[in-house]
Amino acid sequence: IKTLGVLTSGGDCAGLNAVIRAVTYHANRVCGWRVLGVLDGSLGLMEKPPRYRELHADSFDEGLLREGGTFLGTTNKGDPFRFPQPDGSFRDRSGDFAAGVRELGLDALVVIGGDGSMRILSRLCEQAGIGMVGVPKTIDNDVHGTEYAVGFASAINVVTDALDRLQPTAASHHRVMILETMGRDAGHIALNGGIAGGADVILVPELPYTLDGLVAHLRRVLSQGRSHALLVVAEGVKTEEGKPVSISLPGEQLRYGGVGYYLEREISRRLGAETRVTVLGHLQRGGTPSPRDRLLASAFGVHAVRLVAERRFSRMVAWQDRGVVDVPLSAVTVGSRLLQPDDPLIATARGVGTYIGDV
Ligand code: F6P
């Protein structure tokens, strides 16, 4: 290996810069390779000339470890195999990606992304004839093969902090406060943040609920000496009848959000309690990475470079049983890892008196 490429792909999150720092340090200083940071994910390689920044371990100041976002930029638009054109049609631009790889002389690529990015980038790298190693990142924590993805822990901190701030105002006004979290089709953020922040109700897309069951639970909470309640709902939760609640306009790419307002209407109607909604949105993706995410990012970055050095490609670094390991990409690119009904944290939520669907 002489030249290693690194890029971030998909939605950003806290801890991406910490991964890039670890990859660069280890590849540059320990292995002695040239490191090129590709700008804006696969888009940077598809352009002529390709857009990149040469990365040197000694030019990083330690601010990078602490900074949110990705200084390389990222994209979640445009699968190069089906790249959207201005006239609404699609074109296969995977050849442009391979041309970019050749022009930069990359021998291998570290891709920091979620399951969707891993799937697309592994096909692109195969076609371009270079080895790829993946590093999982996503606030949704829905990547198979790893207990934790970079960004998840920081997002949980944001949710917990939001509940810490909502509880006193809920108590002062005797209100039901609804907090809508991100997570796409997975409920990991809502479940983990909801438990940590002491929610009375947690709704996740993977577990069905009824408005009757939910309202009966709130009534019980409010009749046991408490005059307020906290409810956390994941953005992927549907209506009681299973209809999607989405803020997408017709013809737009699917965007989640808005289920909090549906619940506000239904709960205030049935319970008669004053109800307010907070949609956390992209606050969950920004800000300083938590210590846990910095640790994960550093361990993942170093291990990814080791895999490249050993030419063990088509693998993703992962966290399992208190340590960093690696798993085949083929086991990761099978789709999103949703919450399973036997997840121990579901029992934990129920064990502390939280409603998380009728039993
Ligand atoms: O996958 C991460 C995520 O933040 C989801 O939780 C959310 O639904 C989506 O990305 C938002 O995407 P965008 O930034 O494109 O609105």
Cβ of 138 closer than 6 Å to ligand 1, yes or no, is yes
| Cβ atoms of 133 and 313 closer than 8 Å | yes
Question: What angle, rounded to 10 degrees, do the helices at 211-223 and 259-271 form?
Answer: 60
Alpha-carbon distance 57 to 282, whole Å? 30
The residue to mutate among 184, 192, 336, having the most atoms of ligand 1 within 8 angstroms of its beta carbon, is 184
- What's the pLDDT score for residue 168? 98
- Centre of ligand 1 from the C-alpha of residue 210, in Å: 26
184 in ligand 1 pocket by Cβ < 6 Å? yes
Look at ligand 1, atom 12, and give the residue with the nearest C-alpha: 11
Among residues 12, 40, 140, 326, which one is catalytic? 140
ipTM, 2 decimals? 0.99
Is the CB of 143 within 6 Å of ligand 1?
no
Residue 256 CB–ligand 1 contact under 6 Å: yes
| Contact predicate 76/138, CB 8 Å | no
Sign of CA dihedral 165, 264, 155, 318: positive
Is 200 tagged catalytic?
A: no
Q: Around Cβ 63, how many Cβ atoms within 10 Å?
A: 10
Q: Where are the alpha helices (DSSP H) in the chain?
A: 16-24, 42-46, 63-66, 94-104, 115-128, 152-173, 188-196, 211-223, 259-271, 291-309, 344-351
Greatest pairwise CA separation for the chain in angstroms: 69
Question: pLDDT value at position 60?
Answer: 79
Q: Say how far apart CA 209 and CA 272 lie, in whole Å.
A: 20
Would you state the structure tokens that stand for residue 50, as one six-digit string? 């390709």
CB 307 within 8 A of CB 133: yes
| Residues β-bridged to residue 256 | 246
Q: Please give the annotated binding residues for substrate, written as ranges.
A: 138-140, 175, 182-184, 235, 276, 282-285
State the 10-residue block means of pLDDT for the chain, 359 residues long: 97 98 97 98 96 92 91 90 91 96 98 96 95 98 98 98 98 98 97 98 97 98 95 96 83 84 96 96 97 98 98 98 96 95 97 95
Looking at residue 237, what is its pLDDT?
97
DSSP string, 26-72: IIIIIS--EEEEETTTHHHHHSSSPPEEEE-GGG--THHHH--S-TT
Closest CA to 326 of 158, 145, 109: 145
* Ligand 1 atom 8: residue of nearest CA: 184
Ligand 1: residue of 16, 139, 235, 279 to mutate (most ligand atoms within 8 A of CB) is 139
Kindly compute the dihedral angle of the four CA atoms of residues 221, 226, 228, 229, in this order, to the nearest 10 degrees: -30
